[in-house]
Amino acid sequence: MTRVPVAKGVFTWPADEPQLIGSRCAGCGIVTFPAQDSCPRCASTDMAERLLPRRGRLWAWTTQEFPPPSPPYSGASGDAFVPYGVGYVELGGEVRVETRLTQAEGLHIGMDMELVLVPFRIDGDGNEVVTFAFQPVG
C-alpha cells in the first residue's frame, strides 16, 4: 500500500525521522506551526521555513471522545471512530504544537514526547494517508 502525507508542507516527507515544518519570523523571532506567510505577532512577511525538533514536552492534553467536525476532519466516523488523545507539545522551548497523541492514558504534563507518523485513513485511490502524532519517549 502506498503511503501519502495528509497534506503537503506539514512534515518532511519522505523521511526516516520526520520533522514538522514550521516557520520563524526574521523580525521578532517567533516560531509558528504550521508555517505561516506572515507573522502573527508583528505582521512581518519575512518568514523562513524552520524544521522543528522531533522531541518535546507534553504541555496539556485531553481526549477526543467523538469525531471532530467534518470538514476539515476526514477520518473514521460513526462506529469506526476510536477516541484518541489530543494535546499541546512544546518543542525546543519556542513553539507549542497542537497535535494528536498516540495514546489517551498514562500521560502526564512535562513528559518527553517524540514525533511519529501514524495511519489516518484510506483515501479513494487506496493509499494509506498518514498524519503526525506524538508518543511518549521510551
Rounded to the nearest angstrom, the gap between the alpha carbon of residue 123 and the centroid of all alpha carbons in its chain is: 19
Toward Zn ion, which CB reaches closer, 50 or 54?
Answer: 50
CB of 53 to Zn ion, least distance (A): 20
Buried b (16+ CB within 10 A) or exposed e, 5-24: bbeeebbebeeeebbbbbbb
CB of 38 to Zn ion, least distance (A): 8
Question: Which residues of this protein are in contact with Zn ion, per CB under 5 A?
Answer: 25, 27-28, 39, 41-42, 44
Q: What does the block give as the cell for 25?
A: 519570523
Toward Zn ion, which CB reaches closer, 32 or 99?
Answer: 32
Collapsing DSSP to helix, strand or coil, 79 comes out as: helix
CB of 33 to Zn ion, least distance (A): 15
Toward Zn ion, which CB reaches closer, 44 or 77?
Answer: 44
Hey, what amino acid is at 129? V
